[in-house]
Amino acid sequence: MSIKKVITHILLLLMIFSIVVPVSTGYAASSDDILGNLASSTISSGSNSGGSGLFDKLFSFLFDQVLGPVLNIFGNKNTSTSAPVKITTLPPTSGSTGSVLNEGVLKGKVIVVDPGHGGSNPGAVGNDTRESDNNLAVGLKLRDKLVQSGAKVILTRDSDRNVASKGSSLGQELQARVDIAEQNNADLFISVHTNSNPDSNIDGAMTFYHGGDSAALATAVQKALIKQTGAVDKGTSTATFYVLRNTTMPRVLIEMGFISNPAEAARLNDNSYRNNIAHGIYSGIVEYFNNH
């Protein structure tokens, strides 16, 4: 039995025990704060449940607040949602640019682009490429497209570095990205990531969001991204990533593809494909503002 399975079983037993032997409110709140700080932007519950029953809350806490952070600490990045998604393969768009309507809607908009990971945390690594490099390359291209359309773009990082100061914890690193968006009163927060899964056959792009107008933003970005790249459409889903649940403006976290899939990893490392990804995200942003 793997160490993760052992930990999962232990946590399940502890959760069941907590129902039988109630703990103090103060202790529960303290634990939630600690777990919240540990939660990484690379683990999602993929849960769409809105139930308010005891077991709904119990499983929500277990998977969103406990298992996600623990699995991330052990380095298993796997954000493929278990919820049913529409799988659509579209032909790739030729060239590296495309047309969008009313680009003028971006003038004056403050958009924070967050290339995930970087510095001491490369994120997922596989097939001779690193997530942090893919994220930054696409983030820089996205910035250029947005700036050319009149938006004010703020990157959380523009090189291979950490955002928080040296020696900061994971929670502080993620909070530093949140602070950049909040302190600049951003109109949008766009976090760019690369996915991974133990099954190397899995590929495709997906977009995560956290309530409010973010659902419409996620839909627009996902649709445009698939149209521009021809990637397998793995849909949109709600998520409890730290950077999503702690920012207040419309925000999404985009998983561009699976670095664990050899063919997709090669595409993600290709400059032309990276440009198509950036243009897809850009087009989705324009479409979102056209309708809001």
Residue extents of the structural domains in the chain: 3-73, 103-290
Query: Cα(115)–Cα(256) distance, rounded to whole angstroms?
Result: 11
What per-residue confidence (pLDDT) applies to 292?
84
What per-residue confidence (pLDDT) applies to 2?
46
Q: Domain 103-290 adopts which CATH fold? A: Aminopeptidase (3.40.630)
Q: What is the pLDDT along the chain (292 residues), one digit of tens a residue?
A: 544 445 555 655 555 444 443 333 332 223 333 333 333 333 333 333 334 344 444 444 444 444 443 333 333 455 544 333 332 233 333 333 445 566 689 999 999 999 999 999 999 999 999 999 999 999 999 999 999 999 999 999 999 999 999 889 999 999 999 999 999 999 999 999 999 999 999 999 999 999 878 999 999 999 999 999 999 999 999 999 999 999 999 999 999 999 999 999 999 999 999 999 999 999 999 999 999 8
What per-residue confidence (pLDDT) applies to 139?
97
